[in-house]
Structure 1
Amino acid sequence: MNFKLGLLTLPLSVFLISCASNPPSQSLIDAENRYKSALMIEGIQNSDAQRMGNAKEALEKARKLQDENESHTLVDHYAFLSIKNTEIAEERHRLKQIEQETEQAKEKRQQLMLENKASELRDAKIEALKLASQLEALKAEQTERGIIMTLENILFAFNSAELQPGGEMTVTRIADYLNNYPNRFVLIEGFTDSVGSNEYNQKLSRQRAESVQRSLVRHGVSPRRISVAGLGEAYPVAPNTTEAGRQQNRRVEIIIANEDGKPILKR
């Protein structure tokens, strides 16, 4: 009797087991966790709403199959689709963030470049004003040969190549100017009036140019930048028939190259 009862209850047990819910799918659990985690990412829906929609749809399909006790294979399939769509959405969101950060960095660099350019223009304007002021104070003239500064005879004692104190002060100011342009060549040309022999005037004019050169070097100007020439009574700037004219002709001219490293044109 008991044996027969056991045989009758066996099919019922099998039926009850078959009707029980499928155990939870690990793939479904992973898909749900991954989707929930993605939803926490700010802006991901804007980055790839379609993939996030696909991920949600596949996740809901996997849940439905799980609730309907369908095979794990089908549940895992849709769970896998949900995870993949979520991963793609996350990756596209990350790439868009990188693009945005790159664009922001580019805009920032451009802004900095504009600010630096504006700063350079301001500095150049200040430097130009400063240069103009210095040149005006030194009675300089801009020419094709370069910037010419003329030191008249008052800087030297009569018939002498030694600079007077007033001359030293003027040369000091010129040295300060030259030290602001350390890569420009300098030519010092000495001149005399027509009084005396050509040979003597040639020698005196060079000695005066060399005297100015030594003073510039003492004030920090590199001697490698400086060349000198004695031109005697050549190239007068005024008639030698009057004392006033001869005084103008007794002079030293300092020529500064117009550009860094550019040679000074010969007369």
Structure 2
Amino acid sequence: MKNYHLTLSLLAASLLAAACSTTPLTSLLDQAREDYRVVQSSPKAATYAPLELQQAGDALAQANASADHKDSQEKVDKLTYIAKQKIALAWEVTKQKSAEAESADAGKQRDQMLLNQRTAEADRAKLLAQQAQMDANGARQITETAQADAAAAQLAARNAQDRNAQLQAQLNELAAKKTDHGIVITLGDVLFGTDLARLNAEGMRSAQKLATLLQQNPNRKVLIEGFTDSTGTTAHNQELSERRANAVRTGLLEMGIASDRIAIRGKGEAMPVAANDTAANRQLNRRVEISLSDETGAIQAR
């Protein structure tokens, strides 16, 4: 009888331990499933991050299969963590590309408004020329002057349209965004070597595109700001952010941009764009932001 009660006690303790060990796992996997459901239900995710969404779904399926097969908690937990990372990446890519698309649409609307304004000015000038031509006194002189004004207005409108279209195309290539402190171009962590402040080949191509933009818009200036994630000491992050900002400045100088058009600033781990809780988020925080001035050379403060 004593052995019987002892056996029951041991069995109860075993079931209690199993319940305690599976509760966090079930909660983590349920959270991953809910996160995936939220991302999957967003129409923008299928449009802007189809590959990342597929990878997240595959990773979650592996975690679900491992749980169904009653694999070890360690294995299921590892697969669940991987799935959560891929789900977070799909969401971040969706948000970033959606913002870029909205910025591009806004730019097209501004270009169209400017074109309409210039066209209206040209039409008014042409009307004045036609009315002046009907005036018997000095009709020839008035007509010639009005025609010249109309032609100049039309040429100015076409030139402004061409410049704005070219500038917008260059900004689109650099994935520039319109922010509350002006136009900002972000160079991500992938354009540098790991824990390095030297631009790689892709980074130099981005710097060349920026240099071409500045050469074709001589009145504009840039402020280059380096940022890091929270990994490492504050002093190290500050120094690394300064070196990365200076690497972009050096690249622009070598491409013929005058030094008085370039300002740099190291921000270290300050002003993160995402929480430093995942590898994907930390990569978003490791960046260089380039603020482009307006035509007068002024850059809006943050």
CA contact (8 A) 1:145 1:258 kept: no
Alignment partner of 1:129 out of 139, 152, 165: 165
Partner of 2:291, secondary structure, is strand
Matched ranges for 1:221-260 at <5 A: 221-260=257-296
Q: Is the 8 A contact 2:214 2:221 kept in 1?
A: no
Residue in structure 2 matching 1:177, options 186, 201, 213? 213
Aligned: 1:203 with 2:236: no
* Distance in 2 of aligned mates of 1:146 and 1:223: 21
Structure 2-normalised TM-score?
0.53
Long gaps (5+) in structure 2 = 1-134
- For 1:119, the aligned partner's letter is L
Give the distance between the partners of 2:255 and 2:154, measured in 1 at CA. 34
Q: What RMSD in Å do the two structures reach over aligned CA positions?
A: 1.7
Where 1:127 maps in the other structure, the secondary structure is helix
Which structure 1 segments of 5+ residues have no match? 1-98
Q: Does 1:266 align with 2:301?
A: yes
Instruction: Specify the alignment match of 1:64 in structure 2.
Output: none
Report the alpha carbon displacement of residue 206 of structure 1 after superposing the two structures with TM.
0.6
2:169 pairs with 1:141: no
User: Identical aligned pairs, as a percentage?
Assistant: 39
Q: Using the alignment, how far apart are the partners of 2:201 and 2:137 within structure 1?
A: 65
**Structure 1 contact 198–232 (Cα < 8 Å) conserved:** yes
Correspondence for 1:150: 186
Please state whether the residue corresponding to 2:195 is helix, strand or coil: coil
- C-alpha deviation, 1:218, in angstroms: 1.0
User: What residue in structure 2 maps to residue 190 of structure 1?
Assistant: 226
What per-residue deviation string (whole Å, max 9, x for no partner) do you get for residues 132-187 of structure 1? 22211110012342210000011110111011111001100111011111112210
Superposition pairs of residues 65-144 of structure 1, within 5 angstroms: 102-144=138-180
Q: CA deviation at 1:102?
A: 4.9
Question: How far apart, in 2, do the equivalents of 1:225 and 1:170 lie?
Answer: 18
Higher relative contact order at CA 8 Å, sep ≥6: structure 1 or structure 2? Answer: 1
Asked if 1:218 corresponds to 2:254, the answer is yes
Equivalent position SS for 2:186: strand
CA shift for structure 1 position 258 = 2.0
Moved over 6 A (4+): none
**CA positional deviation for 1:104:** 1.7
2:198 to 157, 162, 168: 162
Letter in 2 for 1:145: H
Report the alpha carbon displacement of residue 217 of structure 1 after superposing the two structures with TM.
Answer: 1.1
Structure possessing the higher radius of gyration over alpha carbons = 1
Secondary structure of 2:224's match? strand
Secondary structure, counterpart of 1:253 in structure 2: strand
* Distance in 1, Cα, partners of 2:230 & 2:147: 63
Query: TM-score by structure 1 length?
Result: 0.60
Structure 1 or 2: more helix by fraction:
2
